């Protein structure tokens, strides 16, 4: 379990879950080695049911290896996991794959078959009951009804991705793994996939999403993990920002304050300040909502013409880059 | 282990649909039957009635056993390497399908068209000989024991060729290499059937029974031998 205040622990990075809900995924000290190359190293986390869990990381960070391992396509070298309530063992492989669905980075459709024929094949592979109804529903959900008879090879990349998502939803999985679902898509197709993921969350489907797109993770995921062979950190996007960066207020005035230390130094809500240009100040605060009114009153009392007071926002990209940069600096030369 | 016939059927149906729409596979599977049909027909129609007795020394029908040896080799070699090459293997392996079901489906999908093509070509040959060859030639060629042997050995030879092809396909990353290796691997069998056809190996009842038994055992064991060669992890992650 992850204690408060300690953002990065090497092994176990699990978050507390509601007592009445077993996690959809529970990963404990999982490692995977390919020959001499370590792809995953001592990774631990839990994913709650209905959660959209994002995994961010650079190329070769082990994101796809994590998906394939949890999807029973490859065996872990060490460690253990529970997937959709079943222990990750080769004996449980068939039953685990029955309960989950994986959408690989490449759609992998049968290009000579129509969209409908692709879905028929997978409906039978999952042995879904009332396959015809499920297929029609999946086609409707993905907006593919009028393309059902088209050869998959004639579809655009975005449409193929949609077919792959329809295919993944046929079995109504408990856990859905999406490996870079928007890679190589144009902005319109990306937006469509995002809307679909939001729709899945509303329907309570647990989603394990790997992505390069930080804004995608920030927008869609309840929690994100930053992976680079080892798990670097895990948490809600805003939580990660708060833990990694001090909270600040940015103040802009019409002209520079003659004695800024007198204005800001006497405020208990302000921990410190520094200049940002000739008429800008960055204040370090512990609680921006408490500090902002105090700062405003102090500036007005000092006769300053206040242009703006705003909380500085760090993006998930800042968090990501900070962590990756730290790792590069820590790596032996 | 419980086999899901629904999953097996799904793969078989998908394969048959793909064969129909895959031009190069259709052409490749059509070449061998044509080659193995033309030569016996040529022999039959060039032989005069007076020399028909020469044909009695040969088992011309058995020469056509090359069709069930070579035709399925092309299809089986595509089975795993083809899926891998077009990127469709990973999505299939993420479903609950067992490797035994997958391989059985692939084998059946190659067996059905191969046997249908082989029997179809035999039927054409038999019809041509019965209808258009000189009566003495027809009698010399159309011998009931040869026809029975041909009908029995065709699925058994195809089964052997398919397991060899799938084994090679499961270890290859390139379809063309898999097809070439499969054809090479089937040459010894083709040599045996040709030597029997031209009486270089004298076919006796004992030899026929022994050949049938060996093929039956090979076909039965083929599934068990090939299954461990199908390694999900290696196929997905390309590690060796």
What's the rounded Cα separation, in Å, for the pair A13 and A10? 8
Chain A closest-CA separation from residue B58 CA (Å): 44
Which of B1, B234, B225 is closest to B98 using CA atoms? B1
In order of their start, the domains of chain A are 25-242 (3.40.50.300), 246-311 (3.30.70.100)
Please tell me what DSSP assigns to residue A2. P
Give A244's pLDDT tier (boundaries 50, 70, 90).
Answer: low
Q: What pLDDT score does B12 carry?
A: 97
Quote ipTM for the complex: 0.89
Residue that is written with structure tokens 């600040």 in the block: A248
What's the rounded Cα separation, in Å, for the pair A82 and A95? 12
Global pTM reads: 0.81
CA B36 to chain centre: 13
Query: Which phi and psi angles does A150 have, rounded to 5°?
Result: -75, 145
Q: pLDDT, tens digit, for every residue of B84-134?
A: 998 999 999 999 999 999 999 999 999 999 999 999 999 999 999 999 888
pLDDT at A154 over 90: yes
Which of A62, A58, A65 is closest to A317 using CA atoms? A58
Q: Cβ contacts (< 8 Å) between B9 and chain A: which residues?
A: 124
What's the rounded Cα separation, in Å, for the pair B231 and A114? 29
What's the rounded Cα separation, in Å, for the pair A40 and B129? 67
Q: pLDDT, tens digit, for every residue of B177-226?
A: 999 999 999 999 889 888 888 888 887 888 888 889 999 999 988 888 89
Domain boundary assignment for chain B: 5-237
Interface probe for B, chosen from A69, A121, A176 (most Cβ of B below 10 Å), is A121
Contact A86, A99 (CB under 8 A): yes
Tokens of A234: 């895990």
Contact B7 A71 (CB under 8 A): no
Average the pLDDT over each of A148-157, B54-63, B161-170 and give the range with the smallest value.
B54-63
Minimal Cβ distance to B14: which of A75, A102, A113: A113
Residue that is written with structure tokens 């990774």 in the block: A43
Contact B94 A94 (CB under 8 A): no
Task: Please tell me whether residue A176 adopts helix, strand or coil conformation.
Answer: strand
A153 C-beta neighbours (distance < 10 Å), count: 14
Contact B14 A71 (CB under 8 A): no
By the CB < 8 Å criterion, does B4 face chain A? Answer: yes
Distance (Å) of CA B1 to CA A91, A273, B94: 11, 70, 19
Higher-pLDDT residue of B12 and B225 is: B12
First to last CA, chain B: 28
Q: How many CB pairs under 8 A join A and B?
A: 86
Query: Cβ neighbours of residue A161 under 8 Å, at least 6 residues apart?
Result: A107, A181, A182, A185, A189, A193
What's the rounded Cα separation, in Å, for the pair B113 and B12? 11
Contact B218, B162 (CB under 8 A): no
Chain B closest-CA separation from residue A326 CA (Å): 30
Query: Which phi and psi angles does A310 have, rounded to 5°?
Result: -140, 150
């Amino acid at each position: 379990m992850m204690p408060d205040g300690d953002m990065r622990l090497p092994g176990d990075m699990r978050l507390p879950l509601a007592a009445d809900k077993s996690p959809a995924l529970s990963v404990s000290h999982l490692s995977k080695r390919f020959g001499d190359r370590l792809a995953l190293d001592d990774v631990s986390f839990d994913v709650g049911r209905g959660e959209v869990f994002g995994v961010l990381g650079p190329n070769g960070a082990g994101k796809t290896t994590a998906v394939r391992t949890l999807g029973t396509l490859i065996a872990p070298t060490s460690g253990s996991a529970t997937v959709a309530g079943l222990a990750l063992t080769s004996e449980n492989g068939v039953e685990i794959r029955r309960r989950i669905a994986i959408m690989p980075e490449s759609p992998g459709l049968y290009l000579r078959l129509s969209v409908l024929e692709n879905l028929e094949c997978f409906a039978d592979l999952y042995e879904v009951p009332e396959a015809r109804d499920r297929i029609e529903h999946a086609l409707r959900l993905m907006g593919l009804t009028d393309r059902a008879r088209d050869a998959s090879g004639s579809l655009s990349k975005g449409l193929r991705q949609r077919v792959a998502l329809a295919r993944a939803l046929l079995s109504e999985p408990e856990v859905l793994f999406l490996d870079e679902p928007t890679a190589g898509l144009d902005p319109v197709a990306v937006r469509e996939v995002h809307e679909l993921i939001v729709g899945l969350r509303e329907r309570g489907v647990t989603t394990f999403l790997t992505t390069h797109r930080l804004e995608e993770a920030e927008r869609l995921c309840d929690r994100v993990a930053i992976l680079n062979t080892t798990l670097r950190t895990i948490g809600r996007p805003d939580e990660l920002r708060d833990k990694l960066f001090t909270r600040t207020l940015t103040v802009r005035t019409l002209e520079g304050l003659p004695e800024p230390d007198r204005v800001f130094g006497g405020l208990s809500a302000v921990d410190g300040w520094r200049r940002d240009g000739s008429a800008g100040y960055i204040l370090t605060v512990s609680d921006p909502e408490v500090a902002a009114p105090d700062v405003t009153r102090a500036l007005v009392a000092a006769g300053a013409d206040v242009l703006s007071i705003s909380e500085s926002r760090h993006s998930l990209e800042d968090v990501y880059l900070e962590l990756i940069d730290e790792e590069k600096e820590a790596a032996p030369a | 282990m419980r086999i899901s016939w629904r999953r097996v059927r799904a793969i078989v149906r998908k394969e048959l649909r793909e064969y129909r729409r895959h031009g190069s596979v259709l052409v490749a599977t059509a070449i061998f039957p044509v080659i193995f049909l033309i030569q016996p027909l040529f022999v039959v129609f060039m032989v005069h009635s007076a020399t028909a007795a020469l044909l009695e020394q040969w088992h011309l029908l058995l020469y056509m056993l090359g069709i069930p040896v070579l035709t399925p080799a092309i299809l089986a070699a595509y089975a795993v390497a083809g899926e891998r090459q077009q990127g469709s293997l990973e999505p299939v392996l993420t479903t609950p399908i067992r490797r035994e079901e997958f391989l059985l489906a692939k084998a059946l999908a190659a067996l059905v068209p191969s046997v249908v093509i082989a029997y179809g070509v035999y039927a054409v040959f038999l019809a041509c000989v019965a209808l258009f060859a000189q009566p003495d030639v027809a009698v010399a060629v159309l011998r009931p024991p040869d026809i029975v042997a041909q009908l029995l050995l065709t699925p058994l030879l195809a089964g052997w060729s398919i397991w060899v092809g799938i084994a090679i396909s499961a270890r290859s990353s390139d379809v063309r290499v898999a097809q070439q290796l499969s054809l090479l691997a089937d040459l010894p069998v083709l040599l045996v059937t040709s030597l029997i056809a031209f009486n270089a190996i004298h076919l006796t009842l004992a030899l026929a029974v022994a050949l049938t038994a060996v093929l039956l055992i090979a076909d039965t064991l083929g599934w068990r031998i090939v299954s461990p060669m199908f390694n999900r992890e290696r196929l997905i992650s390309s590690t060796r």
